[in-house]
Amino acid sequence: MQMSSNVKLRYFSQVVALCCLLLVVVMVPGTAQESVASPGQDVDRLKRATVFITQVESENLTTTCIGTGTLVSYDGLILTNAHHSVLSDSCPGDILFVSLTLTVGEAPVPKYRAEVVQSDIGLDLALLRITQDFDGRILERDSLPILPFVTLASELSVGIDDTVTMIGYPDIGNSPLNSPRGTLTSFVAERSGGDQSWLKVLTAGAESIPGTMSGGGVFSRDGELVGVLTSAPTPSGTSSTDCAIIEDSNVDGFINNNDRCVPLGGFISVARSVEFARPLVQAAALDLQVTSLTTPSFNVQTQGTPSISTPFFAPAVVNNQPTTVLRSAPAGTDSLFLFFDYRNMTPETVYEVRVTVDGIPNEALSLPPVRWSGGTNGLWYIGSAGQTRPNGRYEFRVFVDGELAMDAPAAIDVGGPALEQPQFANVTFGLLDQNGNLGGSGYVLPTGNTATARFIHRNMTPGQSWTSIWSFNGQRITASQVTSAWQDTGDINTTITNLQPAGGLQPGNYRLELFIDNSLSALGDFIVAGAQVGPLARVFTNIEFRRAESLTAEPNQTPGTNFPDGAHTLYAYFDWEQIEAGTLWTVQWSVDNQVFYRQTAPWSAPQSGSDFTMQLTAPGGLPDGTYKLELLINDILLTENEVSIGIGQLPIDRFNQSEGVRVRGQIVDVETNQGIEGVAFLVISELFSLEDFTWAENQLYALAITDREGYFEVDRPLEFDAPYSVLVEVDGYLPLGVDGFEISRARLAEEGGNPLELRIELTHD
Binding residues for other proteins, total number by CB under 8 A? 49
Does residue 7 touch other proteins according to CB under 8 A? Answer: yes
Cα separation, 75 vs 552, whole angstroms: 28
The nearer residue to other proteins, 570 or 730, going by C-beta atoms, is 730
Number of alpha carbons in the 13 Å side-chain half-sphere of residue 540: 25
The nearer residue to other proteins, 9 or 722, going by C-beta atoms, is 9
The region of 405-413, 547-555, 569-577, 723-731 touching other proteins under the rule CB under 8 A is 723-731
CB under 8 Å to 548, separation ≥6 — which residues?
554, 555, 556, 567, 568, 569, 570, 571
Does residue 722 touch other proteins according to CB under 8 A? Answer: no
The nearer residue to other proteins, 400 or 758, going by C-beta atoms, is 758
- Among 649, 680, 689, 722, indicate the residue that binds other proteins (CB under 8 A): 680
The nearer residue to other proteins, 306 or 660, going by C-beta atoms, is 660
The region of 189-197, 560-568, 606-614, 699-707 touching other proteins under the rule CB under 8 A is 699-707
Q: Please give the residues from 486 up to 525 whose contact with other proteins meets the rule CB under 8 A.
A: none
- Among 205, 304, 436, 732, indicate the residue that binds other proteins (CB under 8 A): 732
The nearer residue to other proteins, 48 or 397, going by C-beta atoms, is 48
Nearest distance, CB of residue 668 and other proteins, angstroms: 13
Cα separation, 582 vs 572, whole angstroms: 22
Q: Please give the residues from 123 up to 142 whose contact with other proteins meets the rule CB under 8 A.
A: 133, 135, 137-140, 142
Does residue 765 touch other proteins according to CB under 8 A? Answer: no
Report angle CA 652, 658, 662 to the nearest 5 degrees: 130
Does residue 676 touch other proteins according to CB under 8 A? Answer: yes
Nearest distance, CB of residue 234 and other proteins, angstroms: 35
Nearest distance, CB of residue 179 and other proteins, angstroms: 18
Number of alpha carbons in the 13 Å side-chain half-sphere of residue 590: 12
The nearer residue to other proteins, 580 or 715, going by C-beta atoms, is 715
Nearest distance, CB of residue 137 and other proteins, angstroms: 6
Beta bridge partner(s), residue 522? 514
DSSP assignment of 138-166: B--GGGSPPPP--PBPSS----TT-EEEE
DSSP assignment of 337-390: EEEEEEES--TT-EEEEEEEETTEE-TTT-EEEEE--S-SSEEEEEEESS----
Nearest distance, CB of residue 744 and other proteins, angstroms: 26
Identify residue 689 by its one-letter amino acid code: S
**3-class DSSP state of 275:** helix
- Among 390, 566, 678, 740, indicate the residue that binds other proteins (CB under 8 A): 678
Contacts with other proteins, 33-72, as mask; x by CB under 8 A: ---------------x------------------------
Confirm if 667 and 675 have CB atoms less than 8 A apart.
yes
**Can you say whether the dihedral through the CA atoms of 686, 688, 694, 698 is positive or negative?**
negative
Cα separation, 660 vs 747, whole angstroms: 12
Does residue 111 touch other proteins according to CB under 8 A? Answer: yes
Cα separation, 266 vs 367, whole angstroms: 12
Number of alpha carbons in the 13 Å side-chain half-sphere of residue 220: 17
Nearest distance, CB of residue 713 and other proteins, angstroms: 6
Nearest distance, CB of residue 705 and other proteins, angstroms: 6
Cα separation, 362 vs 372, whole angstroms: 21
Nearest distance, CB of residue 669 and other proteins, angstroms: 11
Cα separation, 541 vs 193, whole angstroms: 27
- Among 4, 257, 299, 558, indicate the residue that binds other proteins (CB under 8 A): 4
The nearer residue to other proteins, 145 or 740, going by C-beta atoms, is 145
The nearer residue to other proteins, 104 or 722, going by C-beta atoms, is 104
Confirm if 24 and 666 have CB atoms less than 8 A apart.
no
The nearer residue to other proteins, 140 or 420, going by C-beta atoms, is 140
The region of 1-9, 57-65, 294-302, 463-471 touching other proteins under the rule CB under 8 A is 1-9
Cα separation, 72 vs 653, whole angstroms: 14
The region of 351-359, 383-391, 396-404, 709-717 touching other proteins under the rule CB under 8 A is 709-717
- Beta strands 584-591; 262-263: pairing state: unpaired
Q: Which residues bind other proteins (CB under 8 A)?
A: 1-4, 6-7, 9-10, 48, 100, 102, 111-112, 133, 135, 137-140, 142-143, 145, 147, 676-680, 682, 694-698, 700, 704-709, 711-713, 715, 729-732
